[in-house]
Amino acid sequence: MNDTSGFKIEFKRHNRAKRMKLRYDASTGNAVVTMPPRSSERAAKKFAESNILWLEKQRRSSPHRKCLLPGETIPFEGIDHLIIHDPAKRAGVEIISEKIIVGGTIEGFSVRLENFFKKKARASIEPLAKNMALAINQSFRRIQIRDTKSRWGSCSSSGTLSFSWRLIMTPPDILEYVVAHEISHLKEMNHSKSFWDVVDKLVYDAKYSRKWLKGEEGQSLMLIISE
């Protein structure tokens, strides 16, 4: 990794890349250069430096990272909530009147809150997944709720479904779409027309949900971190 004008540069070689490509990673603040296998890092750095104005523009327009800390406002099931620390309460989390109140000491604050979100995400996702799988005569092995920062969900060939805990921050219809997407992979392990036909049987307006997740609102949720 190299530095150039305030940006750290990540070099990623790709066997099928025919030319260099540059992107700004808002989750890390780094410039990422994808390069053909025989390209040099020196050339890649020069390529990034020649596009420094574009990188600065991307940084200014991109959503910023936000931590699970007191005073921050984050969405829960699509509705903004203020995070409050109440050390007088025992360690735990409760939601009251669009406030997320976290008790206990400040040590481990964000971890307790993330664990709370993981439990809430599982409670919402598991019954949906079971009903959707039943609707298309499929079954899955297990569900994992993970701290993924680039993927909302995945389905393995062995039938394990994985979901980002950040889904609990999205509106319910968005969460339902992601569950439907991964459940549909149990039947169609691809993104063919047949796959999308299954998705459309499980949820309404999947196209809108895909657009929402790829848009600024969805991207900003991926930048919310526990520490």
What residue has token string 């997320």? Answer: 100
Indicate the pairing of strand 7-13 with strand 2-4. Answer: antiparallel
- The 10s digit of each residue's pLDDT in 43-71 is 999 999 999 999 988 888 776 778 899 99
Domain boundaries, the chain: 2-61, 73-225
C-alpha span between 48 and 51 (Å, rounded): 5
pTM of the model: 0.78
Bridge partners for 82 per DSSP: 73, 99
Architecture of domain 73-225: 2-Layer Sandwich (3.30)
* 143-157 pLDDT tens trace: 999 998 789 999 999
Q: Which amino acid, 37? A: P
